[in-house]
Chain A
């Protein structure tokens, strides 16, 4: 073998070996296990075809979690992007507090999902009831307020992140364009809808899909805030898969659900790629 070829493989080896060993091989094994009756403990197992997929699809909780996750993703995409955009508009004006505000809004994004979940759990179960206000009871006892609670947590965590992305978009708009519009007598709102929003369209695509994939795959926050409870009514997809495996020991159906989950993410990503590519061509 030529020396340069040895170097090539030597430089690739550390990443490639770990990547194959921890990502690719387990993924392939996972696809295979989803077609067997392996129960997690036994060493022997048989090929059972698509039986696990049927079990997964027939399970009511799976569809409930799917619907809950879809609705949650929809709401969080709109709320987080909307609020993030408004925050970006706010802090791109020139005033003393602007930089401090950016720093504060972005901060929750760095704190881990588990910590966020437990912090808000304390707020919803202890602080809310302590205020004595009728609407602020313990919010984690049913699925409607639990849903709202998780949404508030995610808005608190991610809107600062979206803000940063929109700031970049807004700062790319040349001042001359806005000045020209002002000279032509365009009002503030008109400038917003005719100039600012169209010109940050690409940032919207990025923000939209980032919140989408984050919310769809949400696990840590869900686990720590409600652990899916009460009675699985706040259980999102990722947690449902986890519980199927480790709470109910149904490894085959859990793996089948994981494969379905993977396919959903793949479809979302293909849509994202097509849209971004098209936007690039137009721009």
Chain B
């Protein structure tokens, strides 16, 4: 009797573990197959896609992908835009949230409401006017006392990210700052600390946990974003970020899937490495942002 029960539980354990491993493999399958295709020659891809490669074509596919996609330029542009936008968003939106929480007035409530409601606006709603306002026929084409600012550049794109990202970031900071007792700031004010000093020396260091969340949400969003850069810098190839490179790459080189798969893996790599390094913080950040 006893051995029967044990036998059953052993079989159950094996079945369960097989099922678990199967699920893991199912989720890893797309990335795995990308790698499998990326080591093959075009001939193998058309005749022998799933089988063992007759000839390994790994280094050629990857070097072709790097070259055709301008991978180095793309990753540099993506890093510039993502890092600067995220840093600006963390600093500026925590500043804004702080004054909105600490100075209670009708105007504060109104501004906070405006930020919150704006999150409903879909990008399709602003995509056409955005280009009209900031493009060559708008502000970028104007003369300011002899100077001409081109906003269809990384600067313009970063300013746009601050604009589009501040609502979510301010909302997160706002909720967090409400929970910080004001006494600490009052004590510092009595000691003669200026407002700016109070914020940067006392308040900002306290915001650590929420700053991580805000940073992660913005990094994930900006790194992968396609439409906003398409509108702002789509016209100048040397400014392109990775998503723009990806789109153009697949518009012209779809035939050679070996190179394409290598390109996809190369673009995924930074995100996957980032995830492996900071998994816990990323999961927490993404979920905190979603729940609020």
Contacts and interface: CB of A to CB of B under 8 A. Distances in A.
Interface of A: 3-4, 7-8, 11-12, 14-16, 18-27, 29-30, 33, 40, 43, 87, 90, 95, 97, 100-115, 118-120, 122-123, 126-127, 130-131, 156, 160-161, 164-165, 168, 206, 210, 217, 219-220, 223-224, 238, 241-242, 245, 251, 254-255, 257-259, 261-262, 265-266, 269
Contacts of B166: 15, 18-19
Nearest to A129: B49
Given A26-B133, A118-B264, A266-B120, A131 B99 contact: no
B20 A101 contact: yes
Contacts of A106: 283
Q: Name A's interface SS.
A: helix
Interface string B236-262: 000000010011001000000100110
A100 B103 CA distance: 46
A12 B96 contact: yes
A129 to B, nearest CB: 9
A208 to B, nearest CB: 12
B111 A16 contact: yes
10 contacts: A7-B195, A15-B96, A19-B162, A97-B17, A103-B279, A106-B283, A113-B226, A220-B227, A254-B128, A262-B122
B27 interface: yes
A119 B130 contact: no
A150 to B, nearest CB: 14
Interface string B92-105: 11011011100100
A122 B37 contact: yes
Contacts of A20: 163
Interface string B143-182: 0000000000000000110111011001000000000000
A265 B122 CA distance: 8
B282 A110 contact: yes
Contact of B30 (A21, A110, A156): A156
Contacts of B261: 122
A255 B128 contact: yes
B128 A251 contact: yes
A40 B138 CA distance: 12
Contacts of A122: 33-34, 37, 257, 260-261, 264
B122 A261 contact: yes
B96 A113 contact: no
A265 B279 CA distance: 32
Q: Name B's interface SS.
A: helix
A104 B121 contact: no
Contacts of B114: 24
A127 B124 contact: no
Given A29-B133, A126-B37, 9 more contacts: A15-B166, A26-B130, A30-B128, A90-B23, A101-B20, A105-B23, A112-B267, A113-B226, A122-B260
Nearest to A93: B16
B159 A8 contact: no
A23 B163 contact: yes
Interface stretch (B1-9, B62-70, B284-292): B284-292
B271 interface: yes
A14 B37 CA distance: 47
A167 to B, nearest CB: 9
Given A97-B24, A110-B271, A164-B283, A21 B125 contact: no
Contacts of B132: 29, 33
Nearest to B232: A22
A266 B257 CA distance: 41
A3 B194 CA distance: 11
Contacts of B125: 27, 30, 255, 258-259, 261-262
Closest 6 CB pairs of A and B: A112-B224, A22-B163, A18-B163, A130-B49, A29-B129, A26-B126
Contact of B162 (A18, A95, A257): A18
Interface string B172-215: 00000000000000000000000110010000000000000000
